[in-house]
Amino acid sequence: MTSPNRPRSFQDIILRLQNYWAAQGCAVLQPYDMEVGAGTFHPATTLRALGGRSWAAAYVQPSRRPTDGRYGENPNRLQHYYQYQVIIKPSPANLQDLYLGSLRAIGLDPMIHDVRFVEDDWESPTLGAWGLGWEVWCDGMEVSQFTYFQQVGGHDCRPVSGELTYGLERLAMYVLGVEHVMDMPFNDPDAPIPLTYGDVFRQTEREYSRWNFEVADTDTLFQHFKDAEAECARILAADPVDTAGRTIPMAHPAYDQAIKASHIFNLLDARGVISVTERQAYIGRVRALAKACADLFVTTDAAQA
């Protein structure tokens, strides 16, 4: 299994993906500077999947799922983790081949592994989005999600974007042969100061798990949710013409508030204060925000072909 081509660390895998997708012509973006549940929430995916303008981007997105926190003890589960996201519009005819090339780039040779595309349709109720595609299996393990977006924010995607999402920790653990995420080398194990994933994140996983599950003030969070919802509506309702007479609709600032509401909902969910019936209602409220933002975005210049 050892070959000079094999990556040696978590960051090596990220760098290889960055280089690979840059070489395929993607704009390599940086993470969005807000708390999100998945790379899809980055406006570079959600909003840019809308409208007729061509687009190609790749980026790492730190993602937070408060309910998945396990105080850093579970070998696979984290409340904060990284996704690698690629979005190309219109989806190119050779997207599957491009994707397989990225696996080769990180040392997964499809001639020695068993790579399979297994039906898995994607849906995000909070984003009013869905698509068809697969989860990609490598030797029986899901290593990526591969989706052709059909709708986002309630709008048909024309043209269709192809979206690839890699769960970086899980993928890297598999490539590097590590059993526990905290044992995974973050930088090169032969570096003067070798660091594991645990060196970087064990402390934060513990702290955030406690805060997410036990300490986060639910009254404050409920209030934040309402504030974000109200601010989103206010931005969307604002006159598109500013004081200087320029037409500037504000889809992105409004969408930030939708993201914020979504993350606060996730926190409240982790605190266990949202009942089964309320859950649907909250998801519906976030979706309404996302849809309204999408409605505005498609009218802006960035959405035009």
Which stretches of the chain bind other proteins, using CB under 8 A?
A: 1, 75-76, 90-93, 96, 110-119, 121, 131-134, 138-141, 148, 150, 157-160, 162, 174, 275-277
Question: β-pairing, 55-64 with 27-28?
Answer: parallel
Q: Could you tell me which residues are beta bridge partners of residue 137?
A: 116, 142
Residue carrying structure tokens 């994933």 = 197
* Cα(149)–Cα(290) distance, integer angstroms: 16
Task: Give the integer Cα–Cα distance in Å for 173 and 128.
Answer: 32
Q: Which is nearer to other proteins, 4 or 192 (CB)?
A: 4
Closer residue to other proteins in complex, CB, 27/118: 118
- How many of the other CB atoms lie within 10 Å of CB of 251? 23
Q: Closest distance between other proteins and the C-beta of residue 260, in Å?
A: 27
Distance separating alpha carbons of residues 158 and 150, to the nearest angstrom: 8
139 or 242: CB nearest other proteins:
139
Alpha-helical segments (H) within 60-158:
95-105
Q: Which two tokens stand for residue 174?
A: 């598999």
| 278 Cβ neighbours under 8 A, 6+ residues apart | none
Q: Given the complex with other proteins, which of 57 and 289 has the nearer CB atom?
A: 57
In the complex with other proteins, the residue whose CB is nearer, 4 or 140, is 140
Considering the complex, what minimum distance in angstroms separates the CB of residue 218 from other proteins? 17
Q: How far is the CB of 249 from other proteins (least distance, A)?
A: 26
Least spacing, CB of residue 229 vs other proteins, in Å = 24
CB of 108 to other proteins, least distance (A): 10
Select 160 or 200, whichever has its Cβ closest to other proteins. Answer: 160
For the chain, the first-to-last Cα distance in angstroms comes to: 47
